[in-house]
Structure 1
Amino acid sequence: MHKVNFLDELARIDEHWSQRIVGEANGQLIKLAKGIGETRWHKHEDQDELFIVCYGCLTIQLREGTVELMPGEMFIVPRGVEHCPRADSETGFVIAGLNVTSTAAGGKPNL
């Protein structure tokens, strides 16, 4: 058991839209990521995806509209809902879900 400082861990992440696992609870992976720009449009048929913003502003684009998240705010994208996270400036955030999703199919941008 150890405590995790989100801001310290985010400072160690070099690649945008890459996830770093920092914990696991009840079968859920707790991951940190930084983003700038946007990912691909995608959906997760097998899991909800929770986003909590630590710093910056994360826009969760949905086909029905957008949700803007500021530090301290969270949003859960329900399973099967197509979405495209976007950050106009560097944003650090927490993601919780059943497995790692930073792949091309899971929304990682084309590089």
Structure 2
Amino acid sequence: MTKANIPEKLSEFDEHWSPRIIASYNDNDVMLAKFSGEFHWHSHPETDDFFLVVAGQVEIDLPDQTIEMGVGDIYVVPAGVEHRPRAVTDEAAVLLIEPKGTPNTGDPATAAPKPTI
């Protein structure tokens, strides 16, 4: 493992809603993703969903509230809770942590691939 620089890693891709693995630890993937617009409602029945905003502004819609997040804010969506992340700014960048193999959509059939960069 070598160190990873978040701004450098973000410059390596342009796709939105397509996480890139930048590190791994204890069977977890540490990923970066760029958000634009809104993702669809989904849940992860088996695992929490960790978000750390590194650029822009993000809102995470939950069934009964909306979590507003700016750079440096962390929020963990509990396992099984339906949620919809969305970028408030034109583009946002988020660091995500999930167990290896967790589909970003909650469904392996519709999940984006997660290449390592």
With the length of structure 1 as denominator, give the TM-score of the two structures: 0.89
Aligned residue number for residue 40 of structure 2: 40
Shift, 1:102, TM fit? 3.2
The CA deviation string for residues 9-46 of structure 1, in whole angstroms up to 9 with x for no partner, is 11212210000001111111101000010111000001
Superposed counterparts of 1:1-111, under 5 Å:
1-88=1-88, 89-98=90-99, 99-103=101-105, 105=107
Report the structure, 1 or 2, having the larger strand content.
Answer: 1
- For each residue in 1:34-75, what CA deviation from the matched residue of structure 2 results, as whole angstroms up to 9, or x when unmatched? 001011100000110100000100111101111011111100
Report if aligned partners of 1:7, 1:54 keep a CA contact under 8 Å in 2.
no
Aligned residues: 108
Counterpart-to-counterpart distance in 1, 2:39 and 2:74: 18
Root-mean-square deviation over aligned CA pairs = 1.8
Residue pair 1:34, 1:93 contacting (<8 A) in 2 also: yes
> Percent same amino acid among aligned pairs?
37
Counterpart of 2:70, as a letter, is: M
TM-score by length of 2: 0.85
